Amino acid sequence: MPQSASNQAHEMGDAKVRVPLGPRSYDVVIAGNLLQRAGEYIAPILRKKRVAIVTDENVAKLHLETLHHSLSKQDIEFTTIVLPVGEKTKSLSHFGDLLDQLLAAKITRDECLIAFGGGVIGDITGFAASTLRRGVDFVQIPTTLLSQVDSSVGGKTGINSPHGKNLIGAFYQPKLVLADVSLLDTLPQRDVLAGYAEVVKYGLLGDFLFFEWLEENGHAVVTGDTAARIQAVKVSVKAKADIVAEDEHEQGVRALLNLGHTFGHALEAETGYGSNLVHGEGVAIGMLMAMMLSSKMGHIDGQDCTRVTTHFSHVGMMAQLPAINGLNWCSDTLLSHMYQDKKVDQGKLTFILMKSIGNAFVTQNVEKQDILDVLDQFTNHTNKE
Ligand code: GLY
């Protein structure tokens, strides 16, 4: 009988978190120098010893040889497809090309895809896996902090449309996730900090003790301490796994994972989803805005807001809107972006607000003027500089 990833992780001393979804349950293994051992984890879950690796040009340059070597050691055959770097790759045309390449490589129903990259690669590969020959298995090997703690876990896959982000996709769970924190050593610091926003998010939305731990250890996490990174990824993945297990298709509690996202998506839309403001930075500022809104509405103590802002600054995260050449931040424009978001429900915006650090809730009961006041506070600060 094939050995499960859980048993293997135990034998190898690696941390692992189970995502319990009945017949679709899987393990997330978290460790340093895990890529070298990826083949040992992947071999037992394969029905046929042949896989297609989907990656991007940056990851290919840095890490592909290590993955190839690790698969070869287990006699796993592979074909590799390298996609361009960046959010533009999550398009219908790249998706079509990817499916064509997988079919040309004769990937059959009992073979497996490996998504080897950040959120873009995970999302497009997972979606390809959900549709190729009506569904093939896939494994996630996330290479960014953001994808290790968020997008590789929980089965949200998809691509963008000219009508908006992630509007085409499927809930489709991987068979295994291998989060190698050593891969973060080659990640630009800006991307580490953007991913760290999603780590803090778990503390803010449901785990005060984790937030306290991050106050002590967040600096070690962002500067490259392996043990601190393993712990931060493990706690984050466990928090996400618990929520996904309760609400896989986002009918309720999973919405808490969108803390900071209603504001954050508006900031991303205004800056064109590009390098002026990456997703994690939008989420970071969005979480501070959500907290300010919570404070304005009398839900949370102002001291909690100060405490979180102080933590952001301490680790080097963005705590204010960035000054961007040629852009005058405008509250009304940001508000109109919010109303175009796919999560607007019968004209109502949904917000995740906080009662205290570690205690968030979902509501649509928010006054437009309060939102504008919060936006004004941030836009005025940056426009005045
Ligand atoms: N990234 C939010 C979710 O997976 O639900």
**Residue that finishes a domain, picked among 170, 185, 200:** 185
Query: Both 199 and 168 in a single domain?
Result: no
**150 ligand 1 Cβ < 6 A:** yes
The question of whether 10 is a catalytic residue gets the answer no
Cα 302 to ligand 1 centre (Å) = 28
Q: How confident is the model at residue 383 (pLDDT cuts 50, 70, 90)?
A: confident
Query: Both 222 and 317 in a single domain?
Result: yes
Query: Both 228 and 310 in a single domain?
Result: yes
What number does the ligand 1 atom closest to the CA of 244 have?
Answer: 5
pLDDT digits (tens, 9 = 90+) for 244-254: 999 999 999 99
**Residue that finishes a domain, picked among 185, 214, 239:** 185
Domain that holds residue 21: 5-185
Query: Both 295 and 310 in a single domain?
Result: yes
The question of whether 163 is a catalytic residue gets the answer no
pLDDT surpassing 80 at residue 21:
yes
d(CA 127, CA 168): 9
pLDDT surpassing 70 at residue 4:
no
Q: For residue 305, what is the enclosing H or E element?
A: helix 302-315
The residues, ordered by sequence, that sit 6+ positions from 275 with a Cβ below 8 Å of its Cβ are none
Query: Both 244 and 336 in a single domain?
Result: yes
pLDDT digits (tens, 9 = 90+) for 98-132: 999 999 999 999 999 999 999 999 999 999 999 99
Cα 154 to ligand 1 centre (Å) = 7
Among residues 40, 111, 198, 270, the one annotated as catalytic is 198
**Amino acid letter, residue 121:** I
pLDDT surpassing 90 at residue 2:
no
Query: Both 247 and 166 in a single domain?
Result: no
d(CA 321, CA 284): 10
Cβ neighbours of 237 (radius 10 Å): 27
The question of whether 37 is a catalytic residue gets the answer no
Across the chain, how many H-helices and E-strands are there?
A: 14, 11
The rounded mean pLDDT for the chain is 95
What number does the ligand 1 atom closest to the CA of 153 have?
Answer: 4
**123 ligand 1 Cβ < 6 A:** no
The number of distinct structural domains making up the chain is 2
**Residue that finishes a domain, picked among 185, 210, 234:** 185
Residue 341's CATH number: 1.20.1090.10
Is residue 374 helix, strand or coil? helix
Query: Both 222 and 360 in a single domain?
Result: yes
Cα 127 to ligand 1 centre (Å) = 15
What number does the ligand 1 atom closest to the CA of 243 have?
Answer: 5
Q: How confident is the model at residue 384 (pLDDT cuts 50, 70, 90)?
A: confident
The question of whether 380 is a catalytic residue gets the answer no
pLDDT digits (tens, 9 = 90+) for 265-307: 999 999 988 889 999 999 999 999 999 999 999 999 999 999 9
Query: Both 273 and 147 in a single domain?
Result: no
The residues, ordered by sequence, that sit 6+ positions from 344 with a Cβ below 8 Å of its Cβ are 338, 350
> For 191-219, what is the mean pLDDT?
98
The radius of gyration of the chain's CA atoms, rounded to the nearest angstrom, is 21
Query: Both 301 and 197 in a single domain?
Result: yes
DSSP 180-249: EGGGGGGS-HHHHHHHHHHHHHHHHHH-HHHHHHHHHHHHHHHHT-HHHHHHHHHHHHHHHHHHHHH-TT
What number does the ligand 1 atom closest to the CA of 258 have?
Answer: 2
Query: Both 211 and 109 in a single domain?
Result: no
Q: How confident is the model at residue 343 (pLDDT cuts 50, 70, 90)?
A: confident
The question of whether 47 is a catalytic residue gets the answer no
Query: Both 331 and 361 in a single domain?
Result: yes
d(CA 122, CA 112): 14
**239 ligand 1 Cβ < 6 A:** no
Question: Whose Cα sits closest to atom 3 in ligand 1?
Answer: 257
Query: Both 96 and 209 in a single domain?
Result: no
**pLDDT in the model for residue 260:** 97
Residue 117's CATH number: 3.40.50.1970
